[in-house]
Structure 1
Amino acid sequence: MISIEGLSKIFTSNKKQITAVDDLTLAIKEGGIFGVIGYSGAGKSTFVRLLNRLEEPSSGRVIIDDQDITAMNSNQLRLARQEIGMIFQHFNLLWSRTVKDNIAFPLEIAGVPKAERERRVRELIDLVGLSERENAYPSQLSGGQKQRVGIARALANNPKVLLCDEATSALDPETTNAILDLLVDINKKLGLTIILITHEMHVIRKICRQVAVMENGKIVEQGDVLDVFLRPKQQVTKKFVEQVMGTQDENEGIQDLINAYDHGKIVRLHFIGETANQALISQVAKKYKVDINVLQGKITQTQAGAYGTLFVQIEGETEEMDKAIGFITKTSVEVEVIRDVN
């Protein structure tokens, strides 16, 4: 468990105080992938750097594995950081060193014997899929390969926590997906806790089970990813959900569809998890004397399951339509009748 209590960071610039992180309190479960999302200036990068004291907090505590990181002296902190790996947006590799030498660097600093270093580097090169590039220099690598080196280096000392600060922001979409798949694989194989900082909701959707939304240095919303997708409360969260669900365009276009029908009920269905994969529409059509016309819909996958919205027109006798809607409701699908033109 990572416990963050009343964490704040105040910078002074031109005799003015700027609060980058504002009295932030958060609990992160051990062994999961936790996402922190926010727009530029929200304070998320400062927040993640406070976790390993690359930035010194103005107040508050960070407790990782029952150790108060914020109370440590420099020697204690140096040892504690060996259990907190970090990867960066722009890789931060040593350009004069090869892939294997970059990965070995933190082991050298930690005083690990040469034979053990070489064994560990070989394990990590295989883990991140760079077995044929170990003697290459960073200038000879693609962006995705550089980030794989960064990940391997961050894992060198067998950390319990991996901090990822915009780790995919400099990568193209295909490479981003490959790096995210690698992080999921590492999480499963090694069981370490990953805290992922991003401004892209599709990154959260793909690999995180829990998410916290930052705005103006504060956590304004948090919870399971599926819950946040289904019921975003804050305006900033709704904007992020629109990135991957296209709900703004959906809402603008659906009204034209609705207006084209002058009979039956127009219903919006929200479904998550297993219900997203069930043949629900065909079940209802077989069970009740109704006709169902799918107007528009979209499903997206998250790490915890599918989430989707479906607009349908239901036609039939009023009693049969009500029975059909009642049946759908009992399946845990959320039902909203948005137009009744009987």
Structure 2
Amino acid sequence: MISIQQLSKVFKTNTTTIQAVDDLNLRIDKGEIFGVIGYSGAGKSTFIRLINRLEEPTAGDVIIDGQEITALSKNQLRLSRQEIGMIFQHFNLLWSRTVRENIALPLEIAGVSKEERISRVDELIRLVGLAGREDAYPSQLSGGQKQRVGIARALANKPKVLLCDEATSALDPETTDSILSLLVDINEKLGLTIILITHEMHVIQKICHRVAVMEGGKIVEQGEVVDVFSHPDKAVTKKFVEQVMGKPDKDITEEAFVQSVESGKVLRLHFVGETANQAIISQVAKKFDVEINIIQGNVKQTQSGAYGSLFVHVTGEETELEQAINYITSTSVEVEVKTDA
């Protein structure tokens, strides 16, 4: 669906040169929700603006559904952008226009007849949950309602791709969840390909199928969300995962804690996918003569499955302990011995 090849963007001033996007290669499949995450300055917002040429690339190609966006003339690009919707962090609504008039604007620009505009706008208002607010002005709307207007406006011309640039960053957590649920609903109902830029890992966790991590203008890690979350490789990715999983307590691996464990083993159990839904602890307690105490843990759901970690203290005879660990490992749960008294 979307192929990005050796994409680069360099900003130059009289005194400095900034490589905002550096030789970026990426493929995004039709109908998926693809997340791009990075801290401020990573290049993610520049990257998303390169896709529809709100920023002109210094080098590289962007190909959407077989059409090379980077090779289009200005007139061709204007038509092509009708198939690429975009929503923004700060909504970018026209404050002198009502909800209905804001949503209708792209249709007016595209030369759609008044009758068709009215029908399409009514359809979109129902889709994004704004029935009854059609004649309100942006100043009369909450942040979540404003973003719903922005989403409806972006969908007006029935795009193939929806670009979301920090679309929930200005919203409170509850409103963020409602907007993310709306995006999932739109993705499922319309089969729309969504590219979502964010610096918040819980946004990626909640709705994305795959994710790319950006740092210094480059993609440093990418893959299925559940895989990247469960096995983060780069330091920057590990920091993002800690946003939703939290850090294990330091004393679990500190010498003082090790010395305080008089018997047994402290294990870190790592769950991915279906294993996160299994009652491993109760199964082990029933099958083997061991006692298990949960120290701490966390399991999260993603679009492609659950993942998480659990720290447990297991005591019993050495033979029983080894059999219990072997049994846990046989269920595809990864086991790491943190302390061994």
| TM-score over 0.5 for the pair | yes
In the alignment, does 2:135 pair up with 1:131? no
Structure 1 residues 194 and 259: CA distance shift in structure 2, 3 A: farther
Structure 1 residues 253 and 246: CA distance shift in structure 2, 3 A: farther
In the TM superposition, what whole-angstrom CA distance separates every residue of 1:132-173 from its partner, at most 9, and x where no partner exists?
100000011111100000000000011010000000011111
Q: For 1:86 and 1:152, how far apart are their aligned partners in 2?
A: 10
> Helix, strand or coil: the match of 1:82?
helix
TM-score by length of 1: 0.97
Equivalent in the alignment of 1:252: 250
Structure 1 residues 269 and 119: CA distance shift in structure 2, 3 A: same
1:43·1:215 contact (CA, 8 Å) conserved in 2? yes
Equivalent in the alignment of 2:18: 18
Equivalent in the alignment of 2:40: 40
Q: For 1:91 and 1:264, how far apart are their aligned partners in 2?
A: 56
- Shift of the alpha carbon at 1:307? 1.3
Of 7-16 and 209-218, the range deviating more from structure 2: 7-16
> Helix, strand or coil: the match of 1:336?
strand
Letter in 2 for 1:308: G
Letter in 1 for 2:280: L
Q: For 1:10 and 1:83, how far apart are their aligned partners in 2?
A: 26
Equivalent in the alignment of 1:176: 176
Report % sequence identity: 72
Letter in 2 for 1:318: E
In the TM superposition, what whole-angstrom CA distance separates every residue of 1:48-104 from its partner, at most 9, and x where no partner exists?
000000000000000000000000011111111111000000100011110001000
Q: For 2:71 and 2:98, how far apart are their aligned partners in 1?
A: 36
Equivalent in the alignment of 1:317: 317
In the alignment, does 2:233 pair up with 1:233? yes
1:206·1:303 contact (CA, 8 Å) conserved in 2? yes
Structure 1 residues 283 and 334: CA distance shift in structure 2, 3 A: same
- Shift of the alpha carbon at 1:257? 5.4
> Helix, strand or coil: the match of 2:40?
coil
TM-score by length of 2: 0.97
Q: For 2:189 and 2:317, how far apart are their aligned partners in 1?
A: 55
Equivalent in the alignment of 2:290: 290
Unaligned runs of 5+ in 1: none
- Shift of the alpha carbon at 1:258? 4.9
Letter in 2 for 1:269: L
- Shift of the alpha carbon at 1:259? 4.5
Equivalent in the alignment of 2:243: 243
In the alignment, does 2:115 pair up with 1:115? yes
Q: For 2:165 and 2:158, how far apart are their aligned partners in 1?
A: 19
1:33·1:208 contact (CA, 8 Å) conserved in 2? yes
In the alignment, does 2:196 pair up with 1:196? yes
- Shift of the alpha carbon at 1:303? 1.7
Equivalent in the alignment of 1:279: 279
Equivalent in the alignment of 2:87: 87
Equivalent in the alignment of 2:266: 266
RMSD across aligned C-alpha pairs, in angstroms?
1.1
Letter in 2 for 1:158: K
Q: For 1:185 and 1:321, how far apart are their aligned partners in 2?
A: 47
Q: For 1:265 and 1:239, how far apart are their aligned partners in 2?
A: 28
- Shift of the alpha carbon at 1:320? 1.5
Letter in 1 for 2:284: V
In the TM superposition, what whole-angstrom CA distance separates every residue of 1:112-146 from its partner, at most 9, and x where no partner exists?
11111111100100000000100000011111100
Letter in 2 for 1:230: S
- Shift of the alpha carbon at 1:16? 2.2
Q: For 2:167 and 2:302, how far apart are their aligned partners in 1?
A: 19
- Shift of the alpha carbon at 1:293? 1.4
Q: For 1:168 and 1:14, how far apart are their aligned partners in 2?
A: 35
- Shift of the alpha carbon at 1:253? 4.1
Q: For 1:257 and 1:320, how far apart are their aligned partners in 2?
A: 23
Equivalent in the alignment of 2:338: 338
Q: For 2:180 and 2:29, how far apart are their aligned partners in 1?
A: 20
Unaligned runs of 5+ in 2: none
Q: For 1:26 and 1:298, how far apart are their aligned partners in 2?
A: 31
Q: For 2:135 and 2:257, how far apart are their aligned partners in 1?
A: 59
1:296·1:312 contact (CA, 8 Å) conserved in 2? yes
